[in-house]
Every structure is written in C-alpha cells, then in structure tokens.
Structure 1
C-alpha cells in the first residue's frame, strides 16, 4: 500500500475515531475536566488532518446553535470595552471558553453518537458514585476505614472530585437519563438502567446538594409528562402528584433531606437576625444584584467590574453582610455584566430554534429535558461560569441541540422509543 493510499485510509477513519474521542469527553463531566482539554486538542489535530474544511464550514454556518454559542461567548469580551478591571474581565472571559471551542464539538457531534455519549457519561457517573458511596459509608458508619478520594471543601462532602454545588446537578441529569433509558429496550436493559437510576438517586440524597435534589424532582415530573404525552392533563396531574409525593416521602424518610429542608426554613425565618447563613446571603445577593441591574440596564457593568460594583451597593444597602463575586444566579449575572443583549442571548442559548417546534425524533425527550435542566439550575448558581456544568451544557448541547441531532425519522410516526404510551 502506497503512502498516499495509507493516508487516505487513515483520513477516512478519522470521523469514527473522533466519534469515540468526542464520546469519551462525557465520561469526565462528574470528575476533573482537565483531560478534556488534552482530548479536545487531539480532536482538533485529527480534524485538521481530516481536512474537508469547506464542507465543515457549510455544516457549521447552517446550524443556528453555532451562531448562538459564539454570540454568547463573544458578548463577554465585547463588554470589556466598558469594563475597568481588565484582569478580572479576561478571567471571566476564560470561564466561558467551552462556548468558544464548541464548533469543534459541533463538527463531530451527530445523532448516531447519542447512545454512546450517554453511555460514557453514565459510566463516568457510576464510577464517581461508587467512590461517593465509599466516602459516605466511611463518614457515617466505618470511620476506621481509610479516607477515600473526596473534596476538602466541607466535612460532609462525599463527592470524590467536585463539591456538591457542581456534583448534585450532574447527578440530577444522570438520574433523568438513566430513568429515560430504563423505559425502552429489553427487560435486562430496563432493569440495569433502573438500578443505575436508584444508585444515582441514593447518591443525590446524601450529596447535600439542594439545587440538584430540586432539579431532579422537576426532571422526574417532566419525564412523566413526556412518557404520557398523549394525555397531557392526566400526565400533568400525575407528575405533580408524583413529585409532591416523592418530596414528602424524602422528607420523612431521609434524615439528610429533612435536615436540609429544616435548615433552609429556619434560615429563611431568621434571615434578618442571622444574616450570615447560606439562605440569607443568597437572598441578599439577589436583591443587591437586581439593584445593580436596574442601575445599568442596557450594557451592564462589564465582565470585570461586577465585584467592585456589587461591593459598592452592598456597602450602601447591606453593609453588615458579606459581599460576593457572583450573584449565584446565571440570569442576573449575565444581565448585570453584559446587559439586555447578553440576557437575550442567554435565553436564546437555553432555547435555540430546534426547541421552538415540537419534535418527534428519538432525542426529543432528552433535548427538552436539557433545556429544563439548565434553566432550573441557573436560578440558583452561575452554572455556565463553572467548568463542569458549563462543559456539560456545551457537550450535551452540541449533541442534542445541534442541527445534526435531528434525524430523518419521526418517532411518533415510526414507532420510535419516544412514542407516548
């Protein structure tokens, strides 16, 4: 075989190699994301070796998600034009870097890779969950065991690689996907995914992540509505009843959940007298950030000036309260730093055109669930500002919300797995 023939054969294999590389990225979402940078670099090198640049550009520019993700990234460096603290500004720009490199993922992602990517993600979650269960047992029942791999942030943390702020929402998304996969296929497949879902829910309960726990309940309700979509009213009633029942059951049967709920209610009642609790601080952050948004409604304060501007308002209205470098709300964070334009782009990022019309293909359910997931968790934290959850949304976004995630078959007409029962 000549060298030219061998090179042509290698190039022909690159799409399949990149498909496996792309899927492998999903396994790192519940852990350290540093390997993703190296693997993304390898994706880029293979893509350059493959060529077909004109064809790839035609594909990218026809995909609305390409333009939306780029707009969301570039609005942040644009805001540096009216920012004073350039060092903080460029640091914030770097936090949205996964949106900048999303074309690399869009050039590889396609609907055929979805089962593989979901499997890699759930496998990565299973690995971290086993480590978390060990940590939980070591903390609660077997203190003589060697200390496991776990983060150092709080004494109650059981997540092996990231704290509960990031870990619990990832578990919520994994729990939804496992439940979704347990609805189709052979009995063995259904049982396997159901067991994985149960294991994930157990980890979520003792993770102490309230955002993840609440989001999972929302996703369970959504899955019920999706499963019985032919009877929307009955599905909605069943979803509300199931979610309420699960919440009450969890409160009365799980000591960690009961303690968290009671603590939140107590902090809420005592927020004026005890201002340094998590709940009271969150409310103060939201209130002062709303004031900041009202002062700078059009363009925001710029990517680098949130810290200084918030500290100024905090000193004026709540001088005895702690200041913050973020409002713990992605919507307010985007609006206060990049203005109305940034807020509209954020909404478009969460609700791209592929979601504007009801789709019946095999990825319709997780596609909608991804939008619900990111919309809910963004109420409680700047999750696109944080590496793991930002990467999660970009990867699953390119997989589920890109134009190539739509297939020629309509699941409702063809009897696909999304057909309502």
Structure 2
C-alpha cells in the first residue's frame, strides 16, 4: 500500500520536532529570538501531526503541565486587580515560555537529554570563545578589531546578553561540564574538564556576581553528589574547594577583587551607599518586602508593581532610584500575586516528582536544576528574564516531565 506524502510527513514530524527542540538549547546563551521561530515551527508541525487525544492524555497525567500552566495563568488572573493594564500585559508576556511548555512536554523525552546538553554546551562554547576574544581585545591586544559585544556595560565581555543573564547560564554550563568530566571515555572526560575550566574562567571575568555565587553553590552540590555516601567528607571538600577558588580568584584577578570589595563596602556601608549596585538591591528588597506586607493575600496585581513600589519608595527611601522589579523572584511573585502566587511558585521549584524522592540516573540533574534556579532567583527575577526563563523551562520539561521517568510515560510513537 502506497503511503501518501502527507502521511509520510506526519510520520517524520516527531523526529523533526525533536531536532528543533534540541536546537533550541544551542541558543540559550545567545539571543532567544530564534527559539520563538523554532517554537512556531514545532507548533505548526505538532498541529499537522495530530494525535491530540494521545497528547492530551500525556499532558493531563503530568503534574509539571498543570504547575507550569498555573504559574503562567496566575499573572493574567492578577490583572483582575490591576489598574495599569498596559504594564500588566507586558508583564504577562515575560512568562510566555511557561505557556509554551505543553508543546515542549509532548516533544521532550529522556533519550534526548545527552543531545540537548551537548547543544547547550556547544552554544556556550561559542559564546565563551567570543567573550575571551573580547577580554583580550579590551585588556591585552587593544589594536585588535572590536568583537561582538553587548553594549549595556563598558565592562561586559559577553557577546549576546549582559552579565546579569550570561553569568548564571555559565554557572549551569560549568556544572554540566564538570559532571560530565567525572565519567565516560577518557577523551570525553578530558574535553569536558577543559570546558569546565574555560567556562569557570569566563565566569570569573564576566562581571556577574550572582552567577559566580550560583557556580559555587552548584560546585558544592556536585561534590555532595559525587560523595553521597560520605557526607562529612563531601562537606569538608566543599568548604576547601570553594574557599580555595574564592581565595585564588580574589588574589589573582583584579576585576574579581574589585567587584568583591565594592560589594562588601556597599553592603557594610549600606546607608551611605546611595544608588550603588548592592545598596540599591538591598533597598529594593526591603521595600518590596514592605509592599508584600501591605498586600499579603493577593498582592498589588500583575501590572501595578512599578506604580505601587514608587509610592512606597517615596515614603521609605526618597533620594534613591526606584525600580520596576525587586531583583528577587520570590518577592516579585509575592508582591504582585500574594501568598496565593507564592504557593504556585513553590510548586514550580519543587514539583511532585521531587517530593516523591524518585531516584534514577537523572535524579542528580534534577536536584542541581532546582538548586540552580532557587539560588539564582535570590538575586534576580530569573523566571521573568528571557534566557534564564527559557533555560529553566527547557531543562525542566526534559528532567521533570512525565517522559523523563523510566517506564512511566505514555508512548507517543
């Protein structure tokens, strides 16, 4: 029996979408615009493929689907008590990748994990090569042609996104590379070890202090995972390794030392450090906590943070700069959607797959992903930022979705 061209195309769509899904990981350290295009193509192909009943059966049995949709629709719901609808719609758009997560959940599966990690690390390697060139051009070979650089901060060496986004992505890449260097064929281990060193070096001069702290946390997580049966040894090794890295970086890198000294001085002399980086962040945190305390149940609404914060800011910190976000994901969600939103955010970070303590070959990666996003979000609204939001959604559907569990996923092919 001859198979028609449409039927032949439909049979190939799962493979095509898997390739497109894998390709999306490559763009995580760069511009995310290509991922919107890839997602649109995946959506069209998925609609053409059909099998909606099977896909719905998969999604409705996946707790991550319900959690991510609850998180996204939380913000349109909070428009009901928002006065600034234009700002509210802009805020809702920031969480688009959570809305797209059902599409990714029907494509992602456990077998794709090595390919997706390889694509992500390849994208990071490209970005790091450009960043190293920029650093050399800025500090050593000043007669070289200017490289591809972000124009936001004169000290930024990242090629595509500023250090606020770039550094946490590097921290996650360094963890994955370091973990891969501990097992496998010798040549592969050596390559991953070199990539770990290269990534850590880029992180050192990236200027992203939050990313550097996240890297140290992930390094400690990796040590505990490697010596899981000897927790005292793991704790001692973590302290020694982190201390050695901090000491070495502080003594051997002027840029890192200057950034650390500046942060310490601004924090210890907070009230005199008006409108400095660390001083502003502390002000944002304290005022946002006050804003949440005044609206604890439902928050101020999706679009009213900027306006209500400015009013509270005028009472408590006149003379300081105001903001449109607290640079802390926890306080951002709590101040705009209240305790109700905070409960949903908790489920985003700790879905049922983690509650049940499922142990399999990717369980360490799940733990590390949660450590990564929970630590990162202490310093920035990283679920509100494009690259890091996309990174979390893509890795979450791959590691925490129903098809990542051995023998438990409904078959789609």
Normalising by structure 2, what TM-score?
0.97
Check if 1:238 corresponds to 2:246: no
- Compute the displacement of 1:270 (Å): 2.5
Distance 1:243 1:274 in 2: 29
Equivalent residue runs for 1:146-225 within 5 Å: 146-225=145-224
Aligned counterpart, 1:290: 289
Q: CA deviation at 1:408?
A: 4.1
Q: What secondary structure, in the 3-state scheme, does the structure 2 residue paired with 1:41 have?
A: helix
C-alpha distance in structure 1 between counterparts of 2:215 and 2:295, whole Å: 35
Alignment of 1:64-103 (within 5 A): 64-103=63-102
CA distance in 1, matches of 2:232, 2:394: 33
The alignment partner of 1:285 has SS state of helix
CA shift at 1:232, angstroms?
2.1
Distance 2:305 2:115 in 1: 40
1:271 and 1:277 in contact (8 A); partners too = no
Question: CA-to-partner distance for each residue in 1:329-372, whole Å, 9 max, x for gaps?
Answer: 00000000011111111111011111113333221111110000
Deviates more, 1:223-232 or 1:161-170: 223-232
Partners of 2:324 and 2:4 in 1: how far apart? 56
Aligned residue in 2 for 1:320: 319
CA deviation map 1:184-222 (0-9, x unaligned): 110000000111111101110000100010000000000
Question: Per-residue CA shift, 1:89-139, capped at 9, x if unaligned?
Answer: 000000001101110000000100000000000000000100000000000
Structure 1 stretches (4+) deviating beyond 4 angstroms?
Answer: none
Asked if residue 345 in structure 1 is aligned to residue 336 in structure 2, the reply is: no
Q: Which residue of 1 aligns with 2:411?
A: none
> SS in structure 1 opposite 2:271?
coil
CA shift, 1:253, in A, is 1.9
Deviations 1:349-407 (A, max 9, x none): 01111111333322111111000000001000011111000111111111111111112
How do 1:1-400 and structure 2 match up within 5 A? 2=2, 4-400=3-399
Deviation at 1:146, TM superposition (A): 0.7
CA distance in 1: counterparts of 2:36 and 2:207, whole angstroms: 29
8 Å Cα contact 1:306/1:325 also seen in 2:
yes
- Give the gaps of 5 or more residues in structure 2: 409-413
| Distance (Å, rounded) in 1 between the aligned partners of 2:243 and 2:155 | 27
Q: Separation in 1 of the partners of 2:20 and 2:298?
A: 39
Distance (whole Å) between structure 2 residues aligned to residue 195 and residue 407 of structure 1: 32
The whole-number CA distance in structure 1 between the counterparts of 2:225 and 2:354 is 15
Q: How much does 1:81 deviate?
A: 0.4
CA distance in 1, matches of 2:117, 2:47: 26
In the alignment of these two chains, the number of paired residues is 408
The alignment's C-alpha RMSD in Å is 1.2
**1:272 aligned counterpart, secondary structure:** helix
Maintained 8 Å contact 1:32/1:162: yes
Q: Distance in 2 between matches of 1:271 and 1:294?
A: 22
> After the TM superposition, which of the residue ranges 12-21 and 221-230 deviates more from structure 2?
12-21
Deviation of 1:143 after TM superposition, in Å, equals 1.1
Q: CA deviation at 1:233?
A: 2.6
Deviations along 1:234-255, one digit per CA (max 9) or x if unpaired, are 2222222222222222212222
Q: Which residue of 2 aligns with 1:417?
A: none
| Counterpart-to-counterpart distance in 2, 1:240 and 1:406 | 33
Name the CA distance, whole Å, in 1 between partners of 2:268 and 2:210.
Answer: 20
Q: Within 1, Cα distance between the matches of 2:78 and 2:27?
A: 31
